[in-house]
Amino acid sequence: MARALPVGGTTVRPPRLVVRRDGPLRGYESALARAGFDLVAGADEAGRGACAGPLVVAACILPPGRRGRIDGLDDSKVLTAATRERLFVRIQARALAYSVVVIPATEIDAYGVHVANLAGMRRALCTLEPAAQYALTDGFPVTGLGMPATAVWKGDATIACIAAASILAKVTRDAIMTRMHDEWPAYEFDQHKGYITPAHAAALSASGPCPEHRRRYVNVRRALRGLQPVVDNPGATAPIDRLPDGDAPTDLTMEIA
């Protein structure tokens, strides 16, 4: 489960822990608590695959023991909107700490979605109060945290604190996209939340991109050139993630809620 990460100029090797992926949702946190890490933060993002709107990253520390168990907690993608909103309130009430970072489309275009995603995770994790002792991130390893960290594939479905972060990020982003619909009603952002659908592709073709569309994404570039957006090719909405010349910053202009 663990990989060595540099912390403060030295290499900190997290304890070797074995956790069953089909075990209870808090299995990772419980194993880390037995190794002396009581404040474990999970981080996840929402909106990485959308071609419009912001990327939202959240981090969350749940309390140990019974208070940290939230009935119904799961990967935000498998929950209904009503369930996510109910859990969103419970997570905010129960969490020892949480942070939400909103990265606008302009930042994604400037630095690329992956760089923006990693920077958002750093910001979300490093602004938690109390500070986390260990970080668990969904999918991607994140360096430069000043604490040991482990990336877990599909962590939002297997780790409670990552599942909580996924719900915080998803509900926050959905609310932003719903409000965005009022300004740009032609795109129906309240329905598809910036992901490509036949209706979204038709709106892109008819009206072209609005300022909230990500210019690095293939479908948006096709619309800028007057070409018909593609809806049946999974790669059609992938970002063209070439980085700008020079070193990409790790500290972007973001709003922290």
- The pLDDT profile of the chain, 257 residues, written as one tens digit per residue, is 444 445 555 455 555 555 454 445 778 888 898 899 999 999 999 999 999 999 999 999 999 878 878 999 988 989 999 999 999 999 999 999 999 999 999 999 999 999 999 999 999 999 999 999 999 999 889 999 999 999 998 889 889 999 999 999 999 999 999 999 999 999 999 999 999 999 999 999 999 999 999 999 988 998 888 765 555 544 445 564 433 333 333 333 333 23
Tell me which H or E stretch contains 97. strand 97-103
- Bridge partners of 65? none
Residue 191: strand, helix, or coil: helix
Joined tokens for residue 242: 């070439």
In a domain, 1, yes or no: no
In a domain, 63, yes or no: yes
Shared-domain flag, residues 220 and 99: no
Tell me which H or E stretch contains 162. helix 160-183
Shared-domain flag, residues 72 and 40: yes
255-256 sheet: strands from edge to edge: 149-152, 134-138, 40-46, 55-61, 97-103, 255-256
Report pLDDT for 256.
29
Report pLDDT for 4.
46
The whole model's pTM is what? Answer: 0.82
Shared-domain flag, residues 105 and 193: no
- Bridge partners of 134? 40
Shared-domain flag, residues 174 and 187: no
Shared-domain flag, residues 190 and 98: no
Domain endpoint, select from 158, 178, 198: 178
Rg (alpha carbons) of the chain, rounded to whole number: 19
Shared-domain flag, residues 72 and 159: yes
Shared-domain flag, residues 119 and 28: yes
Residue 254 dihedral angles phi and psi, to the nearest 5°: -135, 160
Shared-domain flag, residues 136 and 158: yes
Report pLDDT for 116.
96
Question: β-strands 55-61, 255-256: how paired?
Answer: unpaired
Joined tokens for residue 82: 């009503």
In a domain, 248, yes or no: no
Integer Cα distance of 61 and 134 in angstroms: 10
Amino acid at 150: T
In a domain, 231, yes or no: yes
Shared-domain flag, residues 116 and 205: no
Integer Cα distance of 173 and 54 in angstroms: 7
Shared-domain flag, residues 73 and 32: yes
Residue 33's CATH number: 3.30.420.10
Shared-domain flag, residues 71 and 90: yes
Supply the range of the domain harboring residue 98: 24-178
Locus of tokens 């994404």: 217
Amino acid at 240: I
Report pLDDT for 245.
32
- How many folded domains does the chain comprise? 2
Integer Cα distance of 145 and 34 in angstroms: 22
Residue pair 57/117 in contact (Cβ under 8 Å)? The answer is: yes
Closest CA to 98 of 50, 131, 55: 131
Shared-domain flag, residues 157 and 204: no
Integer Cα distance of 133 and 40 in angstroms: 6
Cα separation values, 224 from 3, 52, 58, 162, 197, Å = 43, 14, 32, 36, 18
Question: β-strands 5-7, 10-12: how paired?
Answer: antiparallel
